[in-house]
Amino acid sequence: MSKLFEEMAQGTAEARAYMEGERKGYKVTLPESIDVRAIRNRLRFSQGRFADAFGLSVDAIRHWESGRRNPEAAARALLVVIAHDPHLVMRALAQSHSLTPSWANAGKEIAKSGRAKRRV
State the Cα–Cα distance between residues 59 and 15, nearest whole angstrom.
Answer: 39
**How far from the centroid of its chain's Cα atoms is residue 113's Cα?**
36
What averages of pLDDT result for each successive group of 10 residues across the chain (120 residues)?
A: 76 76 73 95 97 96 96 94 95 78 52 49
CB-based contacts of 108, cutoff 8 Å, min separation 6:
none
DSSP string across 56-73: --HHHHHHHHHTS----H
Assessment of whether the complete model's pTM goes beyond 0.75: no
CATH H-level, domain 31-98: superfamily: lambda repressor-like DNA-binding domains (1.10.260.40)
Task: Determine the pLDDT at residue 23.
Answer: 66
